[in-house]
Amino acid sequence: MKTSLFFSLFLILLSIFSKAQMDDKFYQPNKEMKPLEFKNIEKISFPIDSDTITAVVLKPESKSIKKTVFFFHGAGGNITTYQYITKPLVENGLQVVMIDFRGYGKSTGKPTHLNVAEDGQKMFNYLLRRKDIRDTKIYLYGASLGSQIATHLAKENQSKISGLIIDGGMSSFTDIAIHFAPQYKEMISSMLISPYSAKEDVKALRDLPKLFIYSKGDSTIPFEQGQLVYDNASEPKQFIEFSGEHIQAMVVDRDRILKAINSL
């Protein structure tokens, strides 16, 4: 996420140019791809509008795959930036789909709050036609900003999925902007309206197992925002608090996280 100084400068400009585009302040795509550290990689290219969305399907060594995780990454980097989270999942026997939205990695175009959610739904529909995915239990995993997409898709696809995992996710786009620039709270509240938010969408997830992973040592997303999303969720739900920085639970507390995911 951007620093408080960035948001302060941004909001000053916003007060002058009230029609300024706000979505692009949340997305920091990177085109530079690191080597993927997986043995079984299937690359997917899916045309949407005039752009191409890319993804990878990562298969475990086990031939008996019972669970598939759709992983939605954070604001910065691309899928290769977050493989430290998904590699343990694959090693644990889970099939993982990682998606790069518009502008990220090898995907083309420019991300916005609306098109990343729409693209996520289209890619989900497309991959759900496949027997090797359709015949497994499906979980949505949102890390950091990806939590907004994952929770929104969970709301729209409750009958098709078996659980939701939120890892260091903000409560809403509006809330995180206010956190970084509290002196502009009133202006942000009136001008930067979240088209969807985890704290609201999670209320609709009845009977769906939910796992929330947060740290009080997180300097990017306030712990209180994670607590808010959790409080708004109905049972069944589980909250894991770990000691570490932003979305580092799989690094510092891998076994406990994997155990919780296995139990979903």
pLDDT on residue 4: 52
pLDDT on residue 8: 54
Question: Residue type for 165, please?
Answer: I
pLDDT on residue 238: 98
Rounded CA-CA distance 71/199 in Å is 19
Structural domain of 125: 4-262
Q: What is the pTM of this model?
A: 0.92
Residue 9: how many other CB atoms lie within 10 Å: 13
Task: List the CATH number of the domain containing 211.
Answer: 3.40.50.1820
pLDDT on residue 1: 47
Which portions of the chain are predicted below pLDDT 70?
1-22
pLDDT on residue 19: 42
pLDDT on residue 16: 43
Exposure pattern of 133-151 as b/e (b: 16+ CB <10 Å)? beebebbbbbbbbbbbbbb
Name the token pair of 62. 């086990």
| Domain total in the chain | 1
